[in-house]
Chain A
Amino acid sequence: MNRSDPDVRIDAWLRRELDAVPEPTRAVSGALEAAAVTPQRRGRLSWLRQALGLVGTTVQHGSADRPEVVLTPSADGGAGSAAFRRQGAIATPLVLVALIVALTVLGAAAWLTIGPGRELLGGADGTQPMRPIETGPNRSIVVAADDGHFATLAAAVAEAQPGDRIELHPGTYQAEVVIDKDIEIVGVGDRDQIVVEQLPLAEGEVLSDRLRVLFRLQDSDAVLRGFTLRGSENGTAVIIDGGEPLLDGVRIAPEGSMVTGGPSQPRESIDIMRGSPTVRGSELTSLVYVGDGATPVFEAVSFEPGCLMVEGEGARPTLRDTHFVDSECPGFSLSVADGAHLDIAASTISSQTANSGIRVANEGSSADISGTTISGGTEGVLIGPGATVDFRRSNAQGADVGIRVVSAELTVVAGALIDNGIGLQVSGDSFIEVSDTDFCNDADLDLQDGAAVPIEPNRFCADGATELASVRGS
């Protein structure tokens, strides 16, 4: 074993662990049994392929300069298509005519289904203004179903110049846009009636084919204000990559249940990769990710049932008057890792699930927590190896463990109220300072593995000696 090369040791460990994983015989047999009685999902044009005798075939497209269609019969012959094979030529006139007819019918059906006020795929008809736009700087561009300059958000964004303001009137707009200029997009009217949602799946596209992003803000100081962003699965509502954008009074609400990071789940409200955005007065119902190089500010934001994940040395979010309720993220409401720093004040975190309120995970990670109440869950604050936390004038209450410290670099608890099953659980080589704190727990201290805690001066709801006696093992 090469003790000097961590990567070799990690690789060896991982291979040893996973090489030992057996065949999933139960899973395979179960899946095969289920598949035997489960029909496959066919594309919406399957009837056309059936009619053309192409069932069970694969179609491969050649390069642009050498169009090629290869139609290979399926094993069972594919009704009437056994000898159907061509290379180096475009499809037969019959196929082309049938496709044109089908697309025309589908297009008409889509128009009737989607109706006015919603953007159409490909929307060539929406790229030109429906009425003249004023000239000069700082223009107002109206997006509305009937009397706006544009019926589509994408067309308005393409038209807008830095300083312009796009007004979104009530309606549902389907768009996935990149914004690399300083523009303002503002909902005019009831926020809940102004909805931007993802484009529908293209024919043949499956949900997990690509990440769906409503707004990608690229080095932009754009303003998004007063409307609802609604995603579906496999989507990130907003990606912020640089700049100082402002999200003000928006509601980001992926449909369906939420889970962190799932590649085909409604995974992120906002992915802040870089930049210093401000999120204010908004409701975020799924994960917000703050990456290395991002220094966002959250003010008066509701995360319900959203959560915040912060990773990387350059990640330094600031939270004020921000409230987390019943996070659905597995394991935490708020996670700080890999050298990131969190500053949270005057906020609340409550959970009825098995989450950590705040998890400060590992080496170099840190958090300043003040004026904040953390309630419920498995533990209020989990402080991992090498992490540093300053928990000041704050409350940890109603959790199984108020503050759990595992070999942390430094934990300061001052002027706090700790009221839980276990107040302070400490293990490993942790350094802790506790002062001016009220302990009102079933068991105030649980010291493990030779952990040390200077316990005076503090206050105990019950008799101090009794509380000290209620440590683990008593």
Chain B
Amino acid sequence: MDTDVVVRAQGGDQTAFAQLAMQGGRRMNALAVGILRDRDLAEDAVQQALLSIWKDLPQLRDPARYESWSYKLLVRACYAEARKRKRRMVEVFGVTTREPVTGDDIGGVSDRDQLERGFRRLSLDHRAVVVMHHYLDMPLEAVAVALGIPAGTARSRFHRAMASLRAALEADDRPPSPPTGTATNPEPQGAE
């Protein structure tokens, strides 16, 4: 990120701010989608974060830290969005919006479903750490600073999240278990 642009935006230059928003927008959106698992909510969070960035930018002391600082505000916006839309999230999390699967992608379908489920089981905290470290390639120490948590907590959250995702994959790799033997699963009446 060009610090000159940041400095100009700090001084109230809206063109510079627009440049910042457009340069960093996609990565911010990816982070928000990773945390919220919903594209509409993510865009709402990005919009709120960008507005917060604009308002608080003059108080950013080190322009070189702009990117990390912007992620911090974005994650905060994601949490606010998740809270506001808590009830809605319950509904939309059950719906998956996906691109059509291509032939080359068939091998990944099983992983995708398992990981999607596994990822949704993670808390927002854990998702944020995983996306920032794994996707945005931020060192865990930088993630800790951005999230305002101790570095040890960031490390433990990352390792726990990864362990959970690995467990989701391993569960899928396991052969199916035999029946438990006491089944009294009635046929749904009226079903076709």
Residues of B contacting A385 in the complex (Cβ-Cβ under 8 angstroms): 167-168, 171
Is A64's beta carbon under 8 Å from chain B? no
Q: How far is the CB of A254 from chain B (nearest CB, A)?
A: 14
Chain B, 18-57, CB within 8 A of any chain A CB? 18, 21-22, 25-26, 28-30, 32-34, 39, 42-44, 46-47, 50-51, 54-57
Whole-angstrom distance between the alpha carbons of A385 and B60 in the complex?
Answer: 44
Question: Is A291 within 8 A of B156, CB to CB?
Answer: yes
Restricting to A1-26, which residues have a CB under 8 Å from any CB of B? 1, 3, 6-7, 9-24, 26
When chains A and B are docked, how far (Å) is the Cα of A97 from the Cα of B124? 49
B123 touches which of A13, A205, A335 (Cβ 8 Å): A335
CA distance A273 to B173 in the complex (A): 33
A9 to B186, CA, bound (A): 38
Give the segment of A118-126, A127-135, A262-270, A318-326 that binds chain B: A262-270
Chain B 156-183 interface mask (CB, 8 Å, partner A; 1/0): 1000101111111111010011011111
The residue of chain A having its C-beta at the shortest distance from the C-beta of B82 within the complex is: A330
B191 at the A interface (CB under 8 A) = yes
A262 touches B55 (CB 8 A): no
Tell whether A403 is near chain B: CB-to-CB under 8 Å. Answer: no
A431 neighbours in B (Cβ, 8 Å): 180
Given that A263-B149, A354-B90, A471-B188 are contacting pairs, would A18 and B123 also be in contact in the complex, using a CB cutoff of 8 Å?
Answer: no
Given known A18-B135, A330-B83, contact A10–B153 (CB-CB < 8 A) = no
| A31-B135 in contact given A21-B30, A473-B188 (Cβ < 8 Å) | no
A26 touches B43 (CB 8 A): yes
Q: In whole Å, how far is A14's beta carbon from the nearest beta carbon of chain B?
A: 5
Q: Is the pair B163, A338 in contact by a Cβ cutoff of 8 Å?
A: yes
Question: Interface range on chain B: under 10, 10 to 19, 20 to 34, or 35 or more?
Answer: 35 or more
Task: Please determine whether A455 and B184 come into contact, CB atoms closer than 8 angstroms.
Answer: yes
A259 touches B150 (CB 8 A): no
Which residue from chain B places its CB closest to the CB of A72 in the assembled complex? B7
Q: Which residues of A contact B90 (CB under 8 A)?
A: 354, 378
From the candidates A32, A38, A353, A407, name the one contacting B21 in the complex (CB within 8 A): A32
Q: Which residue of A lies closest to B7 (CB)?
A: A58
Q: A361 on the interface (CB 8 Å rule)?
A: yes
Known: A18-B135, A75-B11, A471-B186. A362 touches B164 (CB 8 A): yes
A80 CB to nearest chain B CB (Å): 15
Question: In the complex, A72 Cα to B44 Cα: how many Å?
Answer: 35
**Contacts A354-B90, A451-B185, A469-B186; A10 near B169 (Cβ below 8 A):** yes
Check A292/B156 contact, CB under 8 A, given A26-B43, A453-B184: yes
- From 114 to 170 in chain B, residues with beta carbon under 8 angstroms from any chain A beta carbon are 115, 121, 123-125, 128, 130-131, 134-135, 146-150, 152-153, 156, 160, 162-170
A31 in contact with B54 given A261-B123, A354-B90 (CB within 8 Å): yes
Cα A56 to Cα B57 with chains together (Å) = 11
| Binary per-residue interface labels of chain A (276-297) against chain B in the complex, 1 for a CB within 8 Å, 0 otherwise | 0000000000000001100000
Candidates B17, B25, B89; contact of A27 at CB < 8 Å: B25
CB within 8 Å for A23 and B25 given contacts A38-B55, A378-B90? yes
A396 to B33, CA, bound (A): 34
- Chain B residues lying within 8 Å of A264, measured Cβ to Cβ, are 72-73, 76, 148
Q: A273 contacts which of B28, B75, B89, B153 (Cβ < 8 Å)? A: B153
Instruction: Give the interface segment out of A85-93, A185-193, A206-214.
Output: A206-214
- Given A15-B135, A21-B33, A204-B61, check contact A337 B76 (CB 8 Å): no
Known: A24-B46, A431-B180. A208 touches B148 (CB 8 A): yes
The segment from A39-47, A139-147, A224-232, A341-349 that touches chain B is A39-47
Chain A residues touching B, range: 35 or more
Which of B30, B55, B148, B169 has a CB less than 8 Å from the CB of A263? B148
A32 CA to B22 CA, complexed, in Å: 10
Q: Are A18 and B34 in contact (CB under 8 A)?
A: yes
| B-facing residues in A222-262 (Cβ within 8 Å) | 234, 239, 257, 259-262
A164 to chain B, nearest CB (A): 28
Residues of B within 8 A of A330 (CB): 82-83, 86, 89, 124
- Residues on A with C-beta less than 8 A from B153 are 271, 273, 291
Q: Are B131 and A447 in contact (CB under 8 A)?
A: no
What distance in Å separates the Cβ of B23 from its nearest Cβ neighbour in chain A? 10
In whole angstroms, what is the CA distance A370 to B28 when docked?
Answer: 45
A148 at the interface (CB under 8 A from B): no
CA of A234 to CA of B32 in the docked complex: distance in angstroms? 19
Cα of A212 to Cα of B171 in the assembled complex, Å: 39
Residue of B nearest to A13 (CB): B115
List residues of chain A with CB within 8 A of the CB of B79.
259-263, 265
Closest to A445 in B: B186
B131 and A14 contacting across the interface, CB-CB below 8 Å? yes
**Do A312 and B160 touch (CB < 8 A)?**
yes
A31 to B11, CA, bound (A): 17
Residues in chain A within 8 A of chain B (CB atoms): 1, 3, 6-7, 9-24, 26-28, 30-32, 34-36, 38-43, 46, 55-58, 72, 74-76, 78, 204-206, 208-211, 234, 239, 257, 259-265, 271, 273, 291-292, 309, 311-312, 328, 330-331, 335, 337-338, 353-354, 361-363, 378, 384-386, 407, 429, 431, 447, 450-455, 468-469, 471-474
User: Which residues of B line the A interface, CB within 8 A?
Assistant: 7-8, 10-14, 16-18, 21-22, 25-26, 28-30, 32-34, 39, 42-44, 46-47, 50-51, 54-61, 63, 69, 72-73, 75-76, 79-80, 82-83, 86-87, 89-90, 99, 107-108, 111-112, 115, 121, 123-125, 128, 130-131, 134-135, 146-150, 152-153, 156, 160, 162-171, 173, 176-177, 179-186, 188-191
Q: Which 4 A-B pairs have the closest CB atoms?
A: A473-B188, A56-B11, A262-B79, A31-B50
**25 A-B pairs with C-beta separation under 8 A:** A3-B173, A9-B108, A19-B30, A22-B29, A24-B29, A27-B50, A31-B46, A31-B50, A38-B55, A42-B59, A55-B11, A56-B7, A56-B12, A74-B7, A211-B148, A211-B149, A263-B147, A264-B148, A271-B153, A337-B123, A354-B90, A384-B121, A447-B186, A469-B186, A469-B189
